[in-house]
Chain A
Amino acid sequence: NAGVMQNPRHLVRRRGQEARLRCSPMKGHSHVYWYRQLPEEGLKFMVYLQKENIIDESGMPKERFSAEFPKEGPSILRIQQVVRGDSAAYFCASSPLLGTQYFGPGTRLLVL
């Protein structure tokens, strides 16, 4: 049973470009969570999604950030018009209903 998969593992973007981060949950998991981590810090919750629904986006900036988890395919975290402050590691976790969250390896975004 493959774990949570994220790609790309590393992403470099110039200011103003768009960043698309993908997350494939573990098989059988219908809940996806996105977190952001700055160097040597803990993870900050961004958004919680179920298939085709955003359940809680209280941790996600109101502008430039969006997330989706379509019926088919991976969950996508999209950052438009990236700025240097968006540079961080972005982690996805998945869980079954009311279950433990399992984390992917993360995508490290660097904005030049």
Chain B
Amino acid sequence: TQLLEQSPQFLSIQEGENLTVYCNSSSVFSSLQWYRQEPGEGPVLLVTVVTGGEVKKLKRLTFQFGDARKDSSLHITAAQPGDTGLYLCAGEGNKLVFGAGTILRVKS
């Protein structure tokens, strides 16, 4: 069974701080996706990483896929209250496997 572990589970920071969320697995995935979910809504895709070692940037968000395609990280620079939400990583193999998520709260 493919499992994805996310850490930390919960993060509360002040506006302007930087943070990193991790997504780790013992399995290799063909691609890995990061989603952001707000309360009462469905997950919204942020990025898909496919190649080992790949780095993608989306404004203040930087996503990295591990060389062995087993892990990924999401780094947010100068966090803002609008970044608050549940961040989910999902690995694609036979099916999409989700991590439990990281709840981020950015206080102003």
Q: Does A43 contact B (CB under 8 A)?
A: yes
Q: Does B45 contact A (CB under 8 A)?
A: yes
Assess whether A42 is in contact with B98, with CB atoms less than 8 Å apart: yes
Assess whether A42 is in contact with B101, with CB atoms less than 8 Å apart: yes
Assess whether B42 is in contact with A44, with CB atoms less than 8 Å apart: no
Cα A7 to Cα B78 with chains together (Å):
37
Q: Count residues of chain A with CB under 8 A from any CB of chain B.
A: 23
Assess whether A40 is in contact with B45, with CB atoms less than 8 Å apart: no
Q: Does A101 contact B (CB under 8 A)?
A: yes
Assess whether B41 is in contact with A106, with CB atoms less than 8 Å apart: yes
Known: A41-B100, A42-B99. A105 touches B41 (CB 8 A): yes
Q: Does B59 contact A (CB under 8 A)?
A: no
Closest A-chain residue to B48, C-beta based? A100
- A81-112 contacts to B (CB < 8 Å): 91, 93, 100-106, 108
Q: Does B104 contact A (CB under 8 A)?
A: no
Tell me, rounded to whole Å, the shortest Cβ–Cβ distance linking A61 to chain B.
Answer: 17
What residues on B are CB-neighbors of A43 within 8 Å?
43, 88, 90, 98
Q: Does A33 contact B (CB under 8 A)?
A: yes
Q: Which residues of B contact A (CB under 8 A)?
A: 4, 6, 33, 35, 40-45, 48, 86, 88, 90, 94-101, 103
